[in-house]
Chain A
Amino acid sequence: MKKELEVIEIDEKEYCVINEVTYKEKTFLYLSNIQDEEDTIIRKVSPEDENIVIPLQDEKEFEIACNLLCKNIMY
């Protein structure tokens, strides 16, 4: 059985969306490089344009995004 995943291009590399979590009006995307599974990053949907994904704001937001991911998988 195959899973259909959305593809997002960042820095000329193609990433697939492994997980998506929305929390307090912010949507975080957890991405994995299609060519290199060790290359993983987090992006969030831009508040100005929902078709654009942008880097996280600061370390605090990064920590929130990490915790949301784990909570989402574990429970």
Chain B
Amino acid sequence: MPNYEITEYKKQLPAKQQKQENVKRFKEKSLQGSSGKRTEKTIKMSRKSFIARLKILFAMGLISGTILGYHVPGAIQKFEDDALVGKLIKEYQVDVIEPNTYRTDDNSGYFYDTMSIAKEIYEAGEENYAEYIYYTLCNTGENNTGIVIEQLYRLYIKTGECKTLEDYYHRNGYENTDDFKKRVKERILAKTESNELQEILGETNQKTQENSGKTK
């Protein structure tokens, strides 16, 4: 029976080599080649295409340069990680925070239905509490998250007592907000990576089953 995990991994190699080739060519062509003349000619380009080109240049620049003491491959990873977690925070805002945000009677401000947010966190299950609290913190700030946590324990969990965000950190072994954010972000990224791996394995297992079905 063919080993589909290895086959899948090998498929990724040409892409990596291609990337290295592109970077090498980018450098060579920037240092050699012909001069050009600036003209009045212009082109109209869609924003999407412009952003795609800007991203390619940004990635090339990051790989080729040594910006501000960053370890360069780490900087690319950091950029991608920030983008991914930012996307998840935004999704939580749309799914959980916005439906529970209301205008004050005089229309001058807004407030959160912290009890409903606490209920959402409770319903997500204990293994997801830290992640949901992280998204709440990023979207509503420390004061509101403190109220959400108090309600979570008082109304839903009913065991123990967390009256503030600091209580929550202390109970769960986090030093402070920075430590909490850093560690939970790492966990989210690890979980996402694991999910992607599971998907790849799921697909390859499915292919293996399909192929073994064909050979029968």
- Taking Cβ atoms with an 8 Å cutoff, the residues of A that contact B are 1-11, 14-16, 18-19, 30, 32, 34, 37-43, 45-46, 50-56, 58-59, 62-63, 65-67, 69-71, 73-74
User: In the bound complex, how far is the Cα of B26 from the Cα of A42, in angstroms?
Assistant: 8
Selected from B34, B38, B50, B64, the residue in CB contact (under 8 A) with A6 is B38
Selected from A8, A42, A62, A65, the residue in CB contact (under 8 A) with B37 is A8
Selected from B45, B64, B65, the residue in CB contact (under 8 A) with A5 is B45
> Which residues of B are found within 8 Å of A18, using beta-carbon distances?
50, 53-54, 57
User: In the bound complex, how far is the Cα of B141 from the Cα of A26, in angstroms?
Assistant: 44
Chain B interface size range: 35 or more
CB closest chain-A residue, reference B27: A62
- Taking Cβ atoms with an 8 Å cutoff, the residues of B that contact A are 22, 26-27, 29-39, 41-47, 49-50, 52-54, 56-58, 60-62, 64-68, 75, 79
CB closest chain-A residue, reference B41: A7
> Which residues of B are found within 8 Å of A4, using beta-carbon distances?
42-45
A34-B43, A42-B30, A62-B31 as given contacts; A52 in contact with B37, CB under 8 Å: yes
**B56→A43 contact, CB < 8 A:** no
**A7→B33 contact, CB < 8 A:** no
B interface majority secondary structure: helix
> Which residues of B are found within 8 Å of A9, using beta-carbon distances?
36-37, 39
**A10→B53 contact, CB < 8 A:** no
**B31→A58 contact, CB < 8 A:** yes
**B50→A5 contact, CB < 8 A:** yes
Selected from A5, A42, A45, A66, the residue in CB contact (under 8 A) with B43 is A5
A34-B43, A51-B37 as given contacts; A65 in contact with B30, CB under 8 Å: yes
**A8→B36 contact, CB < 8 A:** yes
> Which residues of A are found within 8 Å of B32, using beta-carbon distances?
55
